[in-house]
Structure 1
Amino acid sequence: MDTQTLPLTACAQVWNGGSEFRNLSVDLPTPAQGEALATIDLATICGSDIHTISGRRPGPHPGILGHEAVGRITSIGPGGVKDFRGRQLQPGDRVIWSVTVACGQCARCQAGVTVKCVELLKTGHEPLDGGWGLSGGYSSHIHLRRGITMVSVPETVSDAAAAPVACATATVMAVMEAAGALAAKRVLISGAGMLGIVACAVAQHRGASAVHVRDINPERLALAREFGATDAAAPNADRPGLAVDIAVDVSGAAQAVESAFASLDIKGRMVLAGSVSPGPAVLLDPERMVRSLLTVTGVHNYEPKHLQEAMDFVHETRDTYQWGVLVEEPCALAELPFLMQPPTGRSLRKSVTPNAGTIRRTS
C-alpha cells in the first residue's frame, strides 16, 4: 500500500479510567526502522481488560486498551520488518502481534526471559501520552514497535480464530511447555474460560490419557467436552480420590488452586497461570511437596516462540475444533464501552471491528 494514501489519524476508543471511554482521533506516527503500522480487522476483549476497568488491576490512563487483535500491515519503516520465521513482510500481509515488546539486550532478554525485560512495553497497556500511544487493539490502527513479535496468519484461519491467539492461545502454549510432556498423562484444568478451553484442546491433541476440567459454569463445561475434555464437572463434584500427573490452574481462584494441588499424584506438577490479580493466599503443604516429589511453577504471558506455536496449533486444528464459535459476532468500535462485561454462556470473547468491512469467520 502506498503510504501517501494512508489516513493521517487513527480512530480509537480511549480509556479514561473507571468505566469511561471516549472516541478520539490519534495521529499516526511514521514508522521508524524496524517498525510498522497495521490496520486492525478484529479485536477481541480479553478478561484482563475487563478486570482493568473494573479496578481489579491497575492500568495507565488515558490509554488504548486491547491486546488480542488481528490485522494487516499498511506501512513499514526503513529496513523492513520480518515475521517470527524471518519472512519479509509487505503491506497487505495479515498478522498478529505479541503482548510484549522487549529490548532484546538486557540480561533477562539475553537469558531468554524476554517477557520480563527490564524495559518491557506491553500492547494495550501503555499511556496515550507516553512513547507508544497507539499501542492498543481498540483502534483502527496500531503502531507495531521495534521489538514486537509478528506472526503471519494463514488465510484459512478466520479473524475470530486468530485474534485470541495473541494472548490466550499463546499463553496456553507457555503453560503447557511448563507442564512438560502430556502424552499418556492425567491432566486437570481448573477454569473453563478461553485459556481453559484452549488447554483442553492442547492436552487432548498431545495425547493426554485423561483431561479433567473443573468450572462452575455448566455451559462452559459442555464446551470443554467439545474441545477435548474427558471429564468436566463442577468443583464440588470432584471424584473421590482424583489423582493427576499435571494440574493447570487458569481460574485464579484460591480454592481451585488448593484443590488442584491436593489432586497431584507422586511427581505431579502444577502450573499456575490464572493468578494475575491480588487474591487470598493459599496453603501448600511443603512436607507433602517434598515427600511426593511435587513441583509448582508459575507462568505469566509468553515468549515469542509460543505465539508462533499457537498460530500453528490453531491452523493445524482448524477442522478439529470450531475456534470461531468461542467469539461472539463483532460490534462496531463505538460499542466497546457497552461490551466491557464478562461474556455469558458459551461465548468466551466479545469482539469489535475497528475498521469497516466483513469479518472473516471461515473457521
Structure 2
Amino acid sequence: MDPVAGGLTRAAVWTGTGVDVRDVPVPRLGDRELLVRIRLATVCGSDLHTVAGRRPGPQPSVLGHEAVGEVVAAGPGAGTVVGTRVVWTVTASCGACDRCGSGRTAKCRTLRKVGHEPFDGAWGLSGTYARHIVLPAGVGVVRVPDTVPDVVAAPAACATATALAAVEAAGDVAGRRVLVCGAGMLGVTATALCAEAGADVRVADPDAERIAVAERFGGVGDEGGSVDVALDFSGSVAAVGECLHRLDVGGRLVLAGSVTPGPSVPVDPEVVVRGWLTVTGVHNYEPAHLRRAVAFLTRTAGTYPWDELVAAPVRLDDVAHALRRPAAPALRASVVP
C-alpha cells in the first residue's frame, strides 16, 4: 500500500560522502502536487559527476532525475489521474516570470530541479532514487503509452528530451552531414533522431565500444571531413574546437555537453563571419520537448534497441553501486526502488 501524508517512504540520501538509504516521511500534498511511485530510475552521468566530486550540489539531497513512475496521489487541482504511468520534466518553473513568458521556462527566475534540491529544504523528496517522489506545480508531466516499457521510458526525462532539444536547435538536418561528438546516452539518442530525420550521421568518441553502439542507432564512425551540423555532448574543449574547425559554410554548432567550467575555446571571429557559422547552446529543455521525446520513443520502440542501453536494475539499498559507470555496452545504470 502506498503511503499517505504522515506515512513513510524510503529514499537514498546523498550526504556528500556517501549514500544513506533511510525511511523518510511523506509530506502532505499541496495544490497541484503529485505523489508518484518510482517504477524505474536511470542514472544520468551528471549524478556520477556529483558523487565523484566533479559537480557541486546540495548536501544532503535525494539525487536522480530520470525515471518513470505511477501517480498514487494528487493534491487539489493537480488534474492528473491516479494510476497513470508518467514521466516528468527535470525543471519546475513558476510560469509567471519574464523568462517563462518568453518560452524559456527551463531558465525560470525561480527555477527548481528534480534531483537537485536540498533534502532538508521545502522539497525534500525531489529525487528519483527513492520509492516515491513529490512533483510540485510547475513540473511538466507526460503520460507514457502502454507500448513503451519502463526501461525505454525512464531516460526520456533527461537524455531523450535534451537530445531532442539539441537536434531541434540544429534546424532541419534532412540530407545534411551531421557530426555527433560523444556517444553516451545523449549522443546515441541524437544519432537516432538525426538518422530518422534523414541525416548522414557521423559519430566521434574515443571509446570504440560506444561507436559500435551508436552504429546500431543509425550512425557511422567519424572519418573526418567537413560537416553541415555538429552536436557536441562530450563537453571536451578539444572536441568543441574540432567541431568548429570542421563546419562548412553555413554550418551550425550546437553545444550541449559543456555544463561545467573549463578552459576557453579559441574562436576566430573572421572565420565565423566569412563562413556564416552559427554557434548556440542548449541547457535543459522545454515541456514540449519531453512530449516529443515520449512520442519519438513510442514511434521507434521497435526500431532501435533502446532497452539494451540500460543495465539490469539494482535495488534501492544498492544504489551506491549504480552510481558508477555501467559496464559496456550499457550507457545507463538503473534502480528499481
Question: What TM bracket, shorter-length normalisation?
Answer: over 0.9
Deviations 1:226-272 (A, max 9, x none): 0010x214xxxx43xx1111000000011111111111000000000
4+ residue stretches of structure 1 with deviation over 4 A? 1-4
Residue 193 (structure 1) aligned with residue 192 (structure 2): no
- Which residues of 2 match residues 38-57 of structure 1 at below 5 A? 38-57=36-55
Q: How many residues align?
A: 337
**Letter in structure 2 aligned against 1:288:** V
Residue 232 (structure 1) aligned with residue 221 (structure 2): yes
Deviation, 1:79, is 2.1
Which residue of 1 is the match for residue 34 of structure 2? 36
SS state at 1:118 partner:
coil
Moved more, 23-32 or 177-186: 23-32
Deviation, 1:282, is 1.1
Which residue of 1 is the match for residue 236 of structure 2? 253
SS state at 2:163 partner:
helix
Deviations 1:144-186 (A, max 9, x none): 1011000000111011100100000000111011100011111
Q: 2:61 aligns with which of 60, 63, 70?
A: 63
Which residue of 2 is the match for residue 333 of structure 1? 316
TM-score (norm: length of structure 2): 0.97
Q: Distance in 2 between matches of 1:39 and 1:267?
A: 47
CA contact (8 A) 2:3 2:9 kept: no
**Letter in structure 1 aligned against 2:70:** R
- Which residues of 2 match residues 271-282 of structure 1 at below 5 A? 271-282=254-265
Deviation, 1:7, is 8.0
- Which residues of 2 match residues 207-222 of structure 1 at below 5 A? 207-208=198-199, 210-222=200-212
SS state at 2:15 partner:
strand
Q: Compute the RMSD of aligned alpha carbons.
A: 1.4
**Letter in structure 2 aligned against 1:59:** G
CA contact (8 A) 2:9 2:24 kept: yes
CA contact (8 A) 2:163 2:190 kept: yes
Identity %: 50
Q: Distance in 1 between matches of 2:182 and 2:286?
A: 23
Which residue of 2 is the match for residue 77 of structure 1? 75
Q: Distance in 2 between matches of 1:118 and 1:41?
A: 31
Q: Distance in 2 between matches of 1:335 and 1:2?
A: 22
Deviation, 1:2, is 8.9
Deviation, 1:344, is 3.0
CA contact (8 A) 2:6 2:25 kept: no
TM-score (norm: length of structure 1): 0.91
Deviation, 1:207, is 1.1
**Structure 2 gap segments, 5+ residues each:** none
CA contact (8 A) 1:134 1:141 kept: yes
- Which residues of 2 match residues 54-133 of structure 1 at below 5 A? 54-81=52-79, 89-133=80-124
Q: Distance in 1 between matches of 2:89 and 2:25?
A: 22
